Structure formats: C-alpha cells, structure tokens
C-alpha cells in the first residue's frame, strides 16, 4: 500500500483502476539506470495509464537522460477476499521488526509450520517451530522493549505453513515495525511498515490462513 503522499503528484480520474502487469518487466524498467544512483543524483519516475487496453507508461529521468518504458497490461485476476477487517480482530500486537527478524533467525526453519500463540496471559506472544532438531519456542513478554503495542483479548494458538510465510520475509527485512493480527478464525494478518529514505511510509500486508486446528493435547 503506497499512500498518495509518497508521490509529488498523484492524480486518478476514476474511482479505482485495476490491471495486471509482469512484475519482472516492471522491476527491469525501474532499475534501467542501475540499482544504485551516483552520489548527488536520483532517478525520477512518472507513471501514466490512459485506461483499459492501454499500456502502463513509465518515464524515468536521471542526470538529464529520459527513458520511456511501455508495459503491456493484462486482465486482473479476481482478488481473493479474506473478509478480514479491523472490527473482527481478536488479538493485535505491534512489534519492532528486529524482534521478528531475530525469531526467524533463531527458530528451526526446517519445521513445516510456525505456531503462533497470542494471549492476554503468559506466554503473551510465543513463536514455536517443530523441526528436525526438535521443538523450539521464543517468547516475548508484553512489556518487552520490542513490543510497541499489545492488545490481546483471548488466548489463541494457530499453526501456519512456513512455506507461505517465507515470502513475507523480504518485506520484513525492509520494515521497521510489524503489526500481527488475528481474527476469531485464526486468519493471520502481517502488516509491515516500511519507511523510505525521505521518511515517507508505505505498508506491505500479508494474509495467511491457519494450517490446522490445534487440540489441547498438542499444546
């Protein structure tokens, strides 16, 4: 999610515009001047889209040199509606991202699942894995220096496939804070807050359904 404030100029004539483009092509265009600018220079970007059937136009300027890229647009896929909204949130934790990066580094990623426990009582916030070397648990008390906010209303323990969570670590590496939310069905929302060099903020959000029901005997 990119806020309009990230752009110097933001104008959309229609209520909403949706299309699909090839991500690899987009990244190639954005890095056409290289991945790092020379000291004292920066790459300016202007994006234009005329509407259905037209390509996405990218105008990139660096050091007086302008490159124009046209990316063919495709029919968008129907978005999967997880029906996740803030009014249905049961538990919510805001954690400094270094805490979650530390967890992913220390826990056994040979485990098929990551078990997340959120509770108003101990262990408050627990991450568990069940890998080749055995079970591992990492607890965060509610008064931890890494804990920005703690709003847990009931004890929940759910398991999520690590293979589905791993792609989110790319956003985690760039983020400064992460909001971890669950609803009554255990649907997990990971919202990463990313601050760019100018201090502007954008968000990357991931949703993940619980892998399986946990019985009391397994806890």
Task: Evaluate whether 196 touches 174 at the Cβ level (below 8 Å).
Answer: no
Assigned CATH for 89-208: 3.70.10.10
Of 65, 70, 63, 66, nearest to 29 (Cα)? 70
Q: What is the value of pTM for the model shown?
A: 0.74
What per-residue string of b and e applies to 173-210 under the rule 16 or more CB within 10 Å gives b?
eebebbbbbbbeebbbbbbbbbeeeeeebbebebebeb
**Dist CA 104 CA 134 (whole Å):** 16
The helix (H) or strand (E) run that includes residue 208 is strand 201-208
The residue assigned the tokens 């404030």 is 5
The residue ranges of every structural domain in the chain are: 4-72, 89-208
Per-residue confidence of the chain (219 residues) as pLDDT tens digits?
677 877 888 888 888 888 999 999 999 998 888 776 566 678 889 999 998 889 999 999 988 899 999 999 988 877 666 666 677 899 999 999 999 998 888 888 889 999 999 999 999 999 999 988 788 899 999 999 999 999 999 999 999 999 999 889 889 999 999 999 999 889 999 999 998 777 788 899 999 989 865 544 454
- Residue 30, helix vs strand vs coil: helix
């Amino acid at each position: 999610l990119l806020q309009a404030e990230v752009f110097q100029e933001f104008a959309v004539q229609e209520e909403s515009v949706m299309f699909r483009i090839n991500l690899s092509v987009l990244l190639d265009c954005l890095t056409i001047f290289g991945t790092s600018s020379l000291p004292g220079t920066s790459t300016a970007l202007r994006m234009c889209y005329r509407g259905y059937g037209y390509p996405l136009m990218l105008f990139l300027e660096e050091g007086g040199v302008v490159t124009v890229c046209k990316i063919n647009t495709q029919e968008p896929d129907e978005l999967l509606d997880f029906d996740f909204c803030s009014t249905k949130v049961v538990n919510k934790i805001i954690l400094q991202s270094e805490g979650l990066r530390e967890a992913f580094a220390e826990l056994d990623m040979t485990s098929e699942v990551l078990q997340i426990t959120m509770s108003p009582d101990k262990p408050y916030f627990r991450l568990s894995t069940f890998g080749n070397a055995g079970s591992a648990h990492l607890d965060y008390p509610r008064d931890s220096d890494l804990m920005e906010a703690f709003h847990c209303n009931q004890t929940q323990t759910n398991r999520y496939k690590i293979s589905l969570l791993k792609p989110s670590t790319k956003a985690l590496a760039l983020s400064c804070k992460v909001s971890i939310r669950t609803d009554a069905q255990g649907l997990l929302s990971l919202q990463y807050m990313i601050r760019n060099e100018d201090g502007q903020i954008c968000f990357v959000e991931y949703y993940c359904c619980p892998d399986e029901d946990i019985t009391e005997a397994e806890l």
